[in-house]
Structure 1
Amino acid sequence: MNATDEAMSFADLALRPELLRALGDLGYEEPTPIQREAIPPLLEGRDLLGQAATGTGKTAAFALPVLQRLAEGEPESGPVALILVPTRELAVQVSEAMHRYGKDIGARVLPIYGGQPIGRQLRALERGVDVVVATPGRALDHIGRGTLALSGLRMVVLDEADEMLDMGFADDIETILQDTPEDRQTVLFSATMPPRIDGMARRHLSEPVRIKIEHERAATGESPRVRQSAYIVTRSHKPAALGRVLDVEAPTAAIVFCRTRDEVDSLTETLNGRGYRAEALHGGMGQEQRDRVMGRLRTGTADLLVATDVAARGLDIEQLTHVINYDVPSAPESYVHRIGRVGRAGREGVAITLAEPREHRMLKTIERVTRSRIEIEKVPTIADLRARRLELTRAALQESLLEDDDLDRFRVVVETLADEFDVMEVALAAVKLAHESTGAAADEEEIPEVALSPTRGRRDGAGRDAGPRERGRGPSRGGMARLFVGAGRSARIRPQDLVGAIAGETRVSGRDIGAIEIADRFSLVEIPESAVQEVIDALRRTTIKGRKVTIRRDRDAP
């Protein structure tokens, strides 16, 4: 199947008339590259392994074949398809899409996820459903209760598989797949293809068709639509730099990614204090709060969403124009997922990263892995900001002159003033008032330019940068404390899991973490004494490798 075949229509894919009618009603004219390549083999019953970023149209690529299969016979009591997704937001999104596509088929699609009353899910499952869209944890819960039958499954879809593994769902997925029929059709989509995804595919897919859609082509097959840039700033100047960038860029809607919940809350408060309309989104919020936040963003009541990676997974915001990394993502895969939220369906998008000088090396790694150019730009100066604000005022006045037919009622004001002042002076005074009425006060402090110097990270014997390493148990270093973590090798805990959990949930960076020892049933990790309580509180609220673990100060430490 040629992904560049621009003449192909959905009718050429041999879809049922009911599906074609629904797609026509939704205004879909022709399939995207991933849909052109994936739908035919899926309709033939082949297993499929697809690498496609967010925004390429992959939901329809698997949803339409699932619905086509439903239309082949009478409704069955148990589900014939199970779609596993990483987050409740994506579960709802996929479910809503399938309802739209399958409206004329009468498809019974049920999303099941945590944070929703389980009684409602139980009643729907008892009545009978055709397709279940579920997060792995809640699916496993229903399987254990005996309320989700897998014996009749003919198709299993793993959507955003790399995200599910990153969130610690690997064991849950393996358990679920082991309980499904051997002759099922299996589909796996992932934005990235690390070795563990390839390993899962080898274990659970049978001679799969392999498809890879480059993000740069996205849903249109066009050249890149995401402008990627970075600003190098010191940590103390980051809030001011972010405000400066937001003022110059003037996004319609933007997501600002932070590493930790505390940073999300702090930055949201700072932005609102500076006059922006920002909302926080992180894992410490309930579903009702999350729904309220997303409602404000979609209705335009807020235009900035400050979020952690986990909280923002699965979100699809149509009016989103900018993604801003307040910190450099810890892995290239995270960067790919973040910027995949803009530049969708041919629309232009902007991805901006605020990097500290020590993070410059990670930007180069991201460039190498993603094979994309991230332009290092100079933080806008006060003069740049003033010029941009004047440009926005000029554009607003031009729009008013072109579109407003109710200007005559102000004519008497201008004519009266023109008797005493020159018309140009009157216009200048009016522009000044309009400009100042926006409340855009100039930032009086210049942000110093950072001169990049060669990094001096820890090196190993081969001259490579050394990451966190496991070391034997010994006395804590000065100013360091040792924490006991109630999970070790038997739970497949690795040093990088502990570093990722601490750095991802607290203000402690990876380089501040000291010696790590992994025993069979527990682990020990050194952290700065000043951060002990913050780390303990944060890790007690989250999971490591998908499980809650005991966290406390090591009793044997001095």
Structure 2
Amino acid sequence: MTITTSGEAAGFADLELRPELLKALSGLGYEEPTPIQREAIPPLLDGYDLLGQAATGTGKTAAFALPVLNRLEKAGAEGAPPCALVLVPTRELAIQVSEAFHRYGREMGAQVLPVYGGAPIGRQLGALKRGVDVVVATPGRALDLINRGALHLEELRTVVLDEADEMLDMGFAEDIEAILAETPEQRQTVLFSATVPPRIDQIARRHLRQPVRIEIKRPEREVGEPPLVRQRAYVVDRAHKPAALGRLLDVEAPAAAIVFCRTRDQVDELTEMLNGRGYRAEALHGGMNQDQRDRVMGRLRAGTAELLIATDVAARGIDVEHLTHVVNYHVPSDPDSFVHRIGRVGRAGREGVALTLAEPREHRMLKAIERATGLKITVEKIPTVADLRARRLELTRAALRESLLNDDLDPYRVVVESLADEFDVMEVALAAVKLAQEAGGATADEEEEIPEVAPRRPREDRPGRGERRGGPTAGMTRLFLGLGRRNGVRPQDLVGAIAGESSLRGRDIGAIEIADRFSLVEVPESAAAEVIDALRRTTIKGKKTIVRRERSDRPERRSR
């Protein structure tokens, strides 16, 4: 059975949820379900498996959390194994989903535990021993706890795979298969994904039994109606990208924006640069602890910060209601990532803007994204100094008009009247505008023109994983790990560990060479220290390992 919808939702009271859940929803101010909630909750309450396709921000967490909580028989039972397991790709999403379960299940006393790499495992082991109702986990940590005999799944009633496409992109396919093999055959299986490529469809065919299929489409626009998310791209050389980003933000003047970067170092550098330019920018990446991340998100949601500079993994699952702009500081490595990013604006009928800075060699990727997504991405020229000057004057004019309409200006009348005895009133106004412009920061006259570049064909792609090579690719460095084939290590194990514990995505990782007793992995030089620190704090195939930079005098070995 397949359901496709973009329609109106009925009330939560019509969905036959338990009184405790309805009370919690009312207390949270939820008035009616979103389309994905309206369509998914009834079949899940009836015990059906479900495959749901819905974009970020459609409310799918509640769509599976409410049925899971509704089916709890003895919430908070001492020493009880979990009755539901939710697998998510990142620790940020694990925390967010866990918090949602807590909010919805507070009246029931539901015990929910997030488990993910980078957090003290002793605390997680203790909580599992005391008993939990729902476990929200990243695949790597879930498998680690299963192998330790701490996470028991024999009484599991529901398994949820949330953001399944993202988990596959991060190399978790085999971990997911291993986890599902430990669950009861008669479980209910729920799979949610923003996109349903063939790999997702194959998982659904193997593990879901006659599932209800739900696809939530965004409402179609009327003919001639402008798109909710306006797409623009700019081709610029790498050396001029920081200046180009600052220029675009000055011209766009976003109320709130997320700038996506590839590495933690880039996040820190851009945050420092933009704060120096007068913006209130905050960094968000995998090198920050949870308290730091919570403070950053609190400042963004409160409006005390206007820019969030983040890596993909750190920003996963973030939902900021007043977001107006998304900026891709690099072209995303695949269309799905592009869709995930721009899905954070243009919500609830509000217009949003997506800007992409493409290096000349990345122009082809823009075209590939256009073909795969059906989105029209207009390539424009970086605004000139004259454009910036005109935009700043426009903003000043708008601010003056707002003040003339709404402010009490009488206290300043004496200044104007005294100057009018000596100067023409127009000259007084011109001087006031000039001072207002200068008070806003650097003037456009202090800016340099950003050279215009033409798109060009990309240079030969770097060697793929497992290819024989001499030194590492330019901009990359090789890491040595003290585990190899004898330990059962596979390329996907290394990709999953790095992507799950650091700010890198699977596609940021270069060549992988696995020998009998060790492995070599290429990562961006700028992220090497972060990856080393992350891998030293986690396990691969259940084992701690030595991690360091490869010694440059190591003789070349045969790749595999």
TM-score range, shorter chain: 0.7 to 0.9
Post-superposition offset of 1:194:
3.2
Q: Find the partner of 1:331 among 331, 334, 344.
A: 334
Question: Does the 8 Å CA contact 1:470/1:518 hold for their aligned counterparts?
Answer: no
Name the amino acid aligned to 2:532. Answer: R
In 2, the alpha carbon distance for the partners of 1:318 and 1:93 equals 16
Post-superposition offset of 1:224:
4.8
Matched position secondary structure for 2:108: coil
Q: Find the partner of 1:112 among 106, 110, 115.
A: 115
Which residue number corresponds to residue 552 of structure 1?
550
Pairs within 5 Å for 1:504-523: none
Matched position secondary structure for 1:152: coil
Say if 2:43 is the partner of 1:13. no
Question: Does the 8 Å CA contact 1:115/1:286 hold for their aligned counterparts?
Answer: no
Matched position secondary structure for 1:400: helix
Q: 1:145 to 1:362 in 2, by over 3 A?
A: same
More deviation, 225-234/265-274: 265-274
Say if 2:378 is the partner of 1:378. no
Post-superposition offset of 1:479:
9.6
In 2, the alpha carbon distance for the partners of 1:471 and 1:327 equals 26
In 1, the alpha carbon distance for the partners of 2:121 and 2:528 equals 31
Name the amino acid aligned to 2:550. Answer: R
Which residue number corresponds to residue 209 of structure 2?
206
More deviation, 84-93/323-332: 84-93
Say if 2:154 is the partner of 1:154. no
Which residue number corresponds to residue 468 of structure 1?
463
Matched position secondary structure for 2:71: helix
Say if 2:173 is the partner of 1:170. yes
Q: 1:180 to 1:510 in 2, by over 3 A?
A: closer
Question: Does the 8 Å CA contact 1:85/1:161 hold for their aligned counterparts?
Answer: yes
Matched position secondary structure for 1:428: helix
Matched position secondary structure for 1:376: strand
Identity, % of aligned positions: 69
Pairs within 5 Å for 1:348-363: 348-363=351-366
Q: 1:324 to 1:207 in 2, by over 3 A?
A: same
Matched position secondary structure for 1:272: helix
In 1, the alpha carbon distance for the partners of 2:376 and 2:386 equals 27
Name the amino acid aligned to 1:382. Answer: V
Question: Does the 8 Å CA contact 1:215/1:340 hold for their aligned counterparts?
Answer: no
In 2, the alpha carbon distance for the partners of 1:348 and 1:85 equals 29
Q: Deviations over 1:217-273 (max 9, x none)?
A: 69xxx9852222111111121111101110111112222111222222222222223
Say if 2:425 is the partner of 1:423. yes
More deviation, 362-371/22-31: 22-31
In 1, the alpha carbon distance for the partners of 2:249 and 2:237 equals 17
Tell me: higher relative CO, structure 1 or 2? Use CA pairs within 8 A at least 6 residues apart. 2
Name the amino acid aligned to 1:393. Answer: T
RMSD between aligned residues: 3.9
Matched position secondary structure for 1:187: strand
Which residue number corresponds to residue 56 of structure 1?
58
In 2, the alpha carbon distance for the partners of 1:143 and 1:24 equals 37
Say if 2:532 is the partner of 1:540. yes
In 2, the alpha carbon distance for the partners of 1:111 and 1:505 equals 19
Question: Does the 8 Å CA contact 1:216/1:225 hold for their aligned counterparts?
Answer: no
Equivalent residues, number: 534
Q: 1:347 to 1:121 in 2, by over 3 A?
A: farther
Which residue number corresponds to residue 281 of structure 1?
284
More deviation, 188-197/11-20: 11-20
In 2, the alpha carbon distance for the partners of 1:134 and 1:378 equals 44
Say if 2:311 is the partner of 1:312. no
Which residue number corresponds to residue 270 of structure 2?
267
Q: 1:175 to 1:305 in 2, by over 3 A?
A: same
Say if 2:240 is the partner of 1:245. no
Pairs within 5 Å for 1:20-99: 20-70=22-72, 76=77, 77-99=80-102
More deviation, 105-114/268-277: 105-114
In 1, the alpha carbon distance for the partners of 2:469 and 2:372 equals 38
Q: 1:201 to 1:246 in 2, by over 3 A?
A: same
Please give the TM-score of this superposition, normalised by the length of structure 2: 0.82
Name the amino acid aligned to 1:241. Answer: A
Matched position secondary structure for 1:379: coil
In 2, the alpha carbon distance for the partners of 1:433 and 1:472 equals 61
Q: 1:284 to 1:480 in 2, by over 3 A?
A: closer
Say if 2:440 is the partner of 1:448. no
Matched position secondary structure for 2:550: strand
Question: Does the 8 Å CA contact 1:80/1:130 hold for their aligned counterparts?
Answer: yes
Q: Deviations over 1:376-420 (max 9, x none)?
A: 12211111111111121122222223333x432222222333333
Q: Find the partner of 1:493 among 491, 494, 499.
A: 491
Post-superposition offset of 1:491:
3.6
Matched position secondary structure for 2:233: strand
In 2, the alpha carbon distance for the partners of 1:137 and 1:95 equals 17
Question: Does the 8 Å CA contact 2:9/2:38 hold for their aligned counterparts?
Answer: no
Q: Deviations over 1:458-507 (max 9, x none)?
A: 4xxxxxxx77357875767999999586577864428x969x98xx989x
Post-superposition offset of 1:517:
6.7
Structure 2 stretches lacking a partner, 5+ long? none
Matched position secondary structure for 1:97: helix
Please give the TM-score of this superposition, normalised by the length of structure 1: 0.83
Which residue number corresponds to residue 228 of structure 1?
231
Q: 1:481 to 1:413 in 2, by over 3 A?
A: closer
Which residue number corresponds to residue 462 of structure 1?
none
Q: 1:401 to 1:101 in 2, by over 3 A?
A: farther
Matched position secondary structure for 1:439: coil
In 2, the alpha carbon distance for the partners of 1:535 and 1:8 equals 48
Structure 1 stretches lacking a partner, 5+ long? 459-465
In 1, the alpha carbon distance for the partners of 2:44 and 2:301 equals 34
Post-superposition offset of 1:543:
5.9
Question: Does the 8 Å CA contact 2:261/2:312 hold for their aligned counterparts?
Answer: yes
Post-superposition offset of 1:536:
6.2
Post-superposition offset of 1:316:
2.4
More deviation, 382-391/479-488: 479-488
Q: 1:8 to 1:240 in 2, by over 3 A?
A: same
Post-superposition offset of 1:119:
5.3
Which residue number corresponds to residue 461 of structure 1?
none
Post-superposition offset of 1:339:
1.5
Question: Does the 8 Å CA contact 2:76/2:109 hold for their aligned counterparts?
Answer: no
Post-superposition offset of 1:358:
1.2
